[in-house]
A and B are shown apart, each in its own frame.
Chain A
């Protein structure tokens, strides 16, 4: 299949970028990133600079890859990362527009690569259980309802790819932040410090320059791990409780 690619090229953080058009010959068994590999091999053979994009595991779990394909983070397929999107969902002769994530808290570093370290800072603000190695009791001492554990898991499945932020018309990181807060808050081990955690993480999130939630739900639609808006509601509850009912 022959494809026209319209790809955002930007030399570095400070320079202005622009779209470039490329032609590439792909086949339907390739993954989207393998199609870009083919393009890059082609560019290198022509002694041109390849398109910089991030990727690593190519199994949909590391969260490194992420680009906006035809206006949608990770492309058209529900619950799928860019690396797991395959070319059989495109047609011969298609034009595909590829852009980097856009959000103030994710500055473009080069071409399709953005800096997502702001997400790490949110986790550092409180996305953990304060326990040192060696302090744990026997794992079976705290029974946890299967349903609750499963809900916590659904939230913990977040891969930190940032698609929620990229999809959000407000540039908000609510889905990301609430997923971690929900994961830990639902489990008895983590619930102990929910008040402190939610306060610190929300404040950090605001500090990093993310927007706020207007319940549009684009994040939920684009999340490759299908994390739900329920988590945001839960974060809100925790936050109000922390602000009004706790001592800290």
Chain B
């Protein structure tokens, strides 16, 4: 079956405005009687819930955290893009759109991306009005910085805590609506299933994480804003509890899961240091503005460093291989994430890695410190400053820009990054794939809307830095609140749903059985041990670089792990009360299926694009080789328990941009 994206007709620049002006609306008196469930309170969820409530809908918002403010959007560091052109460097909506399409390696929907670029400016206005303290210059106006994959400065930031500040803005709007009674807030409630009534999404089943009680919740429509599935890899920059369960449960109820193989591996993370490690920590991409990435040019030097016989300072300038600057002179250290990650892997595979595991490269601030130091010394009136003075001033400037990131790095590793280069390595960070949605952000299940990282929509095969915050908030503040009306306009005569309907009872029973099944396995192995096994298979075979043999092997191995999981899992305690092991188990059970689908999708996509790099498909120089003729489509999967997953294709039509080979050289 060919999927339709429901993109409106007309010129790209007019589509959204035109569509918005003509779409069906729900009158205020009807909105009062319509209920909407919003699952997740991150940027997309909180912004959607508060905006829908402002419009007059009755909203029920859900989070498994103790407070909506804890969602992992809070950890986004670097910034948020917008086409304001405050920097006067030639930015425009078109350029943001074009950069995003190109950055995504031409695997996203033109109209969606254009709309995203269009509303990006409103987000900055909205957030500023909410009191988000974006960085400012002495003149009192907003400051910008650059991110990877673009040649303009369009990233707005709030120190290294942009996600936190934006989320707190959305959280405050949400809190305002909670106080007004427009949003009913459910905390510590984890969604474990989706309830369909007559083929439409009408409710969810949640587990109260304190009492273990299963609860039914009904509404006219359900919005999932439940984030990505990066934790399939066990180790990622996601929070410990970030998971795919809500989205995956919807998939098991018939929603299509699109492009699961598009995973973003972020180049600048703190390398793994041991098996006990529970998660990886990101060092913001903004660091690549000033940090230079390098490894020793010679294997012998790398080995000496690994063995502790040499320090990075011992390597002469000529013996340092600044591989990004050399390979990609046009963008240098600011190439997109997929390119930078792959290059790091290549360098380490060549034996040039620099920590004990051989899986790390340097991110060096020495020349930035020197450069800034000189300039500041000049400003302070020093004619011929000595080296110590320059370094002192340079460190001050760098600390102003990245102080909190440097501190965090030092806390975790014990190394001082002002004195010795940071060690970094790629890690799973974001998932571009997600539930399939049309232009209205509605999935193939009527009434099921998906926003933020949980949907597949705007980033194609690779997401540019500072675009996740933009998309989450665009969906929640400016897109979904309108487009959900197209569905709800047809529902104004539908009375509120009772949770006593047989559909709710049945779904609750099935959820209960699933939990009991897990609790009753009574084996010997912990949830984490399975999750770690899955993570290893995923990282090795569905990671930075993939190949057919590895993917086939991964599918086989994941099936084996799944089998073992259901035979030998042990969960202590009971299901009625706080049980962290049970919570993990329900998530890992879903990762074990989703992981298989990711490998399956990667195996199907016989091309390299963005974050999906198939070793069989590369140019002589080792760059990704796309196949637009055969693969310019969205692969939306329908899960099959037997392993023959069904693909629904949505062809991607490019009417306004020309498909080009992505080059950052």
Contact = CB atoms under 8 A, between A and B. Distances in A.
Chain A in direct contact with chain B (Cβ < 8 angstroms): yes
A245 interface: no
Interface string A134-165: 11111110111110011011001101100000
A130 to B, nearest CB: 7
B47 to A, nearest CB: 8
B67 A113 contact: no
A136 B411 contact: no
A136 B133 contact: no
Interface stretch (B68-76, B110-118, B342-350, B638-646): B68-76
B381 interface: no
Contacts of A140: 84, 86, 141-142
A146 B570 contact: no
Given A60-B408, A128-B175, A54 B137 contact: no
A50 B165 CA distance: 34
A116 to B, nearest CB: 6
B129 interface: yes
B153 interface: no
Contact of B239 (A44, A56, A116): A56
A149 B133 contact: yes
Given A88-B414, A133-B51, A140-B86, A50 B581 contact: yes
Given A52-B580, A64-B66, A146 B125 contact: no
Q: How large is the interface on A (under 10, 10 to 19, 20 to 34, 35 or more residues)?
A: 35 or more
A230 interface: no
Nearest to A135: B129
A50 B408 contact: no
Interface string A108-127: 01100101110110011101
B104 interface: no
A109 B210 contact: yes
Interface string B462-483: 0000000000000001100100
A56 B478 CA distance: 29
A63 B580 CA distance: 18
Interface string A42-61: 01110111101011111111
Interface in A91-119: 109-110, 113, 115-117, 119
Interface stretch (B21-29, B30-38, B270-278, B420-428): B270-278
Nearest to A140: B141
Contacts of A86: 411-412, 414
Contacts, number: 209
Interface in A24-74: 27, 29-31, 33-34, 37-38, 40-41, 43-45, 47-50, 52, 54-64
A57 B67 contact: no
Contacts of A61: 74-75, 161, 164
B253 interface: no
Contacts of B279: 58
A126 B187 CA distance: 20
Contacts of B68: 120
Given A64-B66, A157-B161, A131 B129 contact: yes
Contact of A144 (B136, B159, B281, B578): B136
A231 interface: no
B615 interface: no
Interface residues of B, number: 79
A9 interface: no
A194 B132 CA distance: 16
Nearest to B176: A128
B311 interface: no
Contacts of A117: 66-67, 187
Contacts of B99: none
B572 A183 contact: no
Interface string A1-37: 0000000000010000000000000010111011001
Interface stretch (A166-174, A184-192, A208-216, A236-244): A184-192
Nearest to A111: B578
Contacts of B570: 44, 47
A230 B51 CA distance: 34
Contacts of A157: 161, 164
A31 B414 CA distance: 12
A84 interface: yes
Contacts of A138: 125
Contacts of A49: 572-573
Given A62-B74, A86-B411, A128 B239 contact: no
B125 A64 contact: no
B202 to A, nearest CB: 26
Given A116-B66, A152-B133, A189-B128, A146 B138 contact: yes
B580 A50 contact: yes
A58 to B, nearest CB: 5
B175 A120 contact: yes
A168 B136 CA distance: 34
Contacts of B72: 56-57, 62
Contacts of B210: 109
Contacts of A203: none
B125 A44 contact: no
Contacts of B124: 139
Nearest to A52: B578
B274 A30 contact: yes
B66 A190 contact: no
A189 B161 contact: no
Contacts of A30: 274, 276
A117 B414 CA distance: 35
Contacts of B577: 12, 110
A113 to B, nearest CB: 7
Contacts of B185: 120
Interface of A: 12, 27, 29-31, 33-34, 37-38, 40-41, 43-45, 47-50, 52, 54-64, 77, 79-80, 84, 86, 88, 109-110, 113, 115-117, 119-120, 123-125, 127-140, 142-146, 149-150, 152-153, 156-157, 159-160, 183-184, 187, 189-190
21 contacts: A37-B528, A40-B580, A43-B572, A44-B526, A56-B65, A56-B70, A57-B75, A117-B66, A119-B67, A131-B129, A132-B51, A133-B50, A133-B173, A134-B477, A134-B478, A135-B129, A138-B125, A139-B128, A139-B142, A145-B140, A149-B136
